[in-house]
Structure 1
């Protein structure tokens, strides 16, 4: 007996009125083998115990290695800030804006590599591109230890950015393929705590390297040993990624039945599960992405959010040194406390978003406020004198909460974007915004403003205020769109259960969130 499958419903087509949508008839077509696979996934009957068993297995294996990969990427990228306080500027004769260009070049090449890497992961899968990029950027970081001048450094940093652009979209795709929407925030926060968590570990190791080399000075400076350590660690990490990371259809540690359980479970999110099928490139989904208002919210919010984050990531150590701390004190009294506050806030937000799933935007708004206040106060209030050192320290520490905003935006991506090609397009758009913001952020810290960089800090504070307003407008759009869809579905005479079931079928048929009127946006 054949079963009906919904054809694509372009719910946001400007040429189609709401009344027309309410009278649309779902066409019935005979199911072919692929459609039968869709229905087999959607209608699969498994117990809650089956779902929990597979979920626990994924958590035990995926999260530790995703944590390691995400953390080593952040450590490699941001290590230049610590290296700057351990002789990099002097040993390579950097002058003027050359140090800023090491950050800007990283983000520009990151941007260039983003579209090709997303395309390759759609066509080849996640596992092998992730391994290759990790291995090669480890080699590049290792080579930085032997750089002698700005030309060599900027070339290596550009290669590093070109290779690192794979890691974040790969981890987001893995998260989306193993977890349902309500779990995206907490699971992403868990592996993203590696940014401050692994940074604490690497900062302590770099403290040891710096302390030892200062006591036993030789021609191979402490900043060079830092690159040797990080590069070697990254190469080892790439081997773990090859063995354990990928989408359900790629990894070997799930049985065939467990892979089907995972797909059946993820189907409830209506964004499409990973059933091992090959995805073709759909140009209609490309057009859909650029007609979608959420694409532009992702784009502009990410630019504005990345500008202050990119600048403070590269110049954070130098800002703390300007307060009066030594290079070694900066690590143990400034960077590590900043990381500890970040981890605590990440975990608080993660726990609360599990209890109240529709609060991501509220926490994004709340998290920008301390950074806005802290940086403006740091830039505008008189801060002269040694007694003000710890006040300046506390104000800069307030930026720790802002680190969660970029992550929460990422969790909205797998939750609210459906359609494999559309995911690739919007993922690329997000990374373009991330790179533009990071590249500009590095340039806002001008050499003539050293050592305190007051104008740059004020600008970063203002950007946190702007992104806060964007978050509020973005949430309002999702709420209005959900209400509009609910009204259309009610006019179609469908029950919530029928709508949810049809939404699963549409999602597994690789329909986008705009084409699938039954899709509900997560806020």
Structure 2
């Protein structure tokens, strides 16, 4: 069979009872944590041993290079349409500006449609092989895009590209949740988000080279862009299918007996134990939580501008001055660099302060400043600076994913949270290109005002989310349980009273 469930286990649909281990009577006094600094749960402070540090390095060297390249190429594939705008797609296919907007949005419609299926497949299949199949399929779609000549054909492949790419980010978020301690996840979610910016840089470098090819073998430049990245994507899919370690006990990690013991301790810390049974009560519990909806609304607010500026970026920059097609592509690269630097800044600040939500607010404010500049300044270098600052929203979205990883337990519930976050990320990206109205080009004032409002909404959501989690932490610290919880029970963060939220 293509897929197997050898790492799964099955639990009853009924909510499990907590099974406590024997502990000393004074355990409560030794299980302390400062909720203002972002609690990780009622547990004794640990010092990471040299053996565990070696294990973390082994995990990182085994999975992160492949994961990073998957994200880089995924972003480049998604953004291929934007550079096609200055590589001849308008002239070659005779599409209009409004049709181009729809091509940008149809990608995210495919993203949206696939999410319910993705949530099911993530729980039922080994995520490494599942990811590999999806990557191969969207690589094939990229190759078929090079054969399109009309708007309906382009619309179909853009929808399918979004459909199959929809598996990528929820799978990677779950992989980070699974492989790393909660205290480590801020760093690795930062790496994941940083790769979005690197994808922009790599994609634009390749596109710049293609812009100097001209028509080779009677194939237009925009088609070559899809052929090159489609081929790379299929190759990465094969690598992921065979070589992506997707659980802490994977044979690809070649664990020693000592490392197997450490892995069990790490599983207890991050409270992620694979379970192939979909527990409906955990989905219902998630839907009833204000936290979920605050994260989702913040995701829309941060991603509206991402969708609009990503699809129209090359045209937008070209409209700011007398730039050639190649120069417009090159001037997109600092946006990718700005996104990468913003993510690094967000990660470092969040790690140093243990304040994920406040750091998210800071990134949204930086993005808001950039959007205000875009709305207020007619043209020139200052407006280009505003474009680069606006990409700080990428770092803010990465911190939303970090908050899910840190603050949601229960395998079904975590998958559902990740999927919902991507659904609303997708909605924001779907709306973004549609509000970039052709009649408002090149300044797109209405869209810029909408982007400012989106950042403001995200700031309010971050504040409220932090306040809710802080209040619950205070309540749990005032009434600490008298025994630890076994992570293998697959309890949700609501059921597990030992669980403290990281703010």
Q: How does 1:203-352 map to 2 (within 5 A)?
A: 203-213=204-214, 219-245=218-244, 246-255=246-255, 257=257, 258-269=259-270, 271-274=271-274, 278-324=275-321, 325-332=323-330, 334-352=331-349
Q: Does 1:421 align with 2:420?
A: no
* Deviation at residue 186 of structure 1 after TM alignment: 0.8
Matched, 1:199 2:200: yes
Instruction: Give how far 1:217 is off.
Output: 6.8
Q: How does 1:152-191 map to 2 (within 5 A)?
A: 152-191=153-192
- Where do residues 448-459 of structure 1 align in structure 2 (5 Å cutoff)? 448-459=439-450
**1:511 aligned to 486, 491, 494, which one?**
491
Query: Residues of 2 paired with 1:469 and 1:418: CA distance?
Result: 25
Matches within 5 A, 1:35-50: 48-50=49-51
Q: What TM-score comes out, normalization by structure 2 length?
A: 0.87
The 8 Å contact of residues 140 and 156 in structure 1, kept in 2 or not, is answered as: yes
What displacement does 1:429 show?
Answer: 1.7
The 8 Å contact of residues 125 and 250 in structure 1, kept in 2 or not, is answered as no
Contact 1:138 1:232 in 2 (8 A): yes
Q: Distance in 1 between matches of 2:129 and 2:217?
A: 40
CA, structure 1 residues 129+48, in 2 after alignment: closer, same or farther (shift >3 Å)? same
Query: What does residue 94 of structure 2 align with?
Result: 93
The equivalent residue for 2:374 is 378
Is 1:134 matched up with 2:132? no
Q: Any conservation in 1 of the 2:196–2:339 contact (CA below 8 Å)?
A: no
Question: Per-residue CA shift, 1:216-268, capped at 9, x if unaligned?
Answer: 57742111100001101101111221233222344523337445532322312
What secondary structure sits across from 2:300 in the alignment?
Answer: helix
Please tell me whether the aligned partners of residues 86 and 325 of structure 2 are also in contact (alpha carbons under 8 angstroms). Answer: yes
Query: Higher Cα Rg: structure 1 or 2?
Result: 1
Q: Is the 8 A contact 2:302 2:364 kept in 1?
A: no
Shift of 1:341: 2.2
Q: Which residue of 1 aligns with 2:11?
A: none
Q: 2:452, 2:251 → 1: CA distance?
A: 43
Gaps of 5+ in 1: 1-6, 11-25, 30-41
Deviations 1:451-476 (A, max 9, x none): 32221122112211221111111111
In structure 2, distance between residues paired with 1:389 and 1:137: 38
Alpha-carbon contact 1:9-1:515 (below 8 Å) kept: no
Take 1:465 and 1:312, find their aligned partners in 2: how far apart are those partners? 18
CA distance in 1, matches of 2:497, 2:399: 25
Please give the secondary structure, in 2, of the residue aligned with 1:515: coil
Q: Deviation of residue 28 (structure 1)?
A: 7.4
Question: How big is each residue's C-alpha offset from its partner over 1:141-198, in whole Å with a ceiling of 9 and x where there is no partner?
Answer: 0111111011000100111111011111111111111111111111111133222123
Q: Tell me, in whole angstroms, the C-alpha distance in 1 between the residues paired with 2:388 and 2:403.
A: 26
Once the two structures are superposed, residues 481-514 of structure 1 have per-residue CA deviations (whole angstroms, 9 ceiling, x without a partner) of: 111111222xx6x4xxx4xxx13x1x33100001
| Cα distance in 1 between the residues matched to 2:216 and 2:415 | 49
Deviation per residue, 1:192-221 (Å, 9 max, x gap): 3222123212211210111121xx577421
Answering whether residue 391 of structure 2 is matched by residue 400 of structure 1, we say: yes
Matches of 1:65 and 1:101 in 2, distance apart? 32
Output one character per residue of 1:278-303: Cα deviation in whole Å (capped at 9) or x when no partner: 43121221221112221111221112
* Aligned equivalents of 2:286, 2:367: Cα separation in 1: 32
Gaps of 5+ in 2: 1-13, 22-42
| Other-structure match for 1:444 | 435
- Contact 2:373/2:382 (8 A) holds in 1: no
For 1:486 and 1:80, locate their aligned partners in 2 and report how far apart those are by CA, in whole Å.
51
Does structure 1 retain, via aligned residues, the 8 Å contact 2:82–2:310?
yes
State the distance in 2 between where 1:429 and 1:176 align.
16
In the alignment, the residues of structure 2 paired with residue 284 and residue 199 of structure 1 have an alpha-carbon distance, to the nearest angstrom, of: 40
For residues 430 and 199 of structure 2, the distance between their equivalents in structure 1, rounded to whole angstroms, comes to: 24
Aligned-pair distance for 1:344? 2.1
> What's 1:78 paired with?
79
Count of aligned positions: 466
TM-score, normalization: structure 1? 0.84
Where does residue 501 of structure 2 map in the other structure? 521
Over the aligned positions, Cα root-mean-square deviation in angstroms equals 2.4
Cα pair 2:372 2:448 within 8 Å, conserved: yes
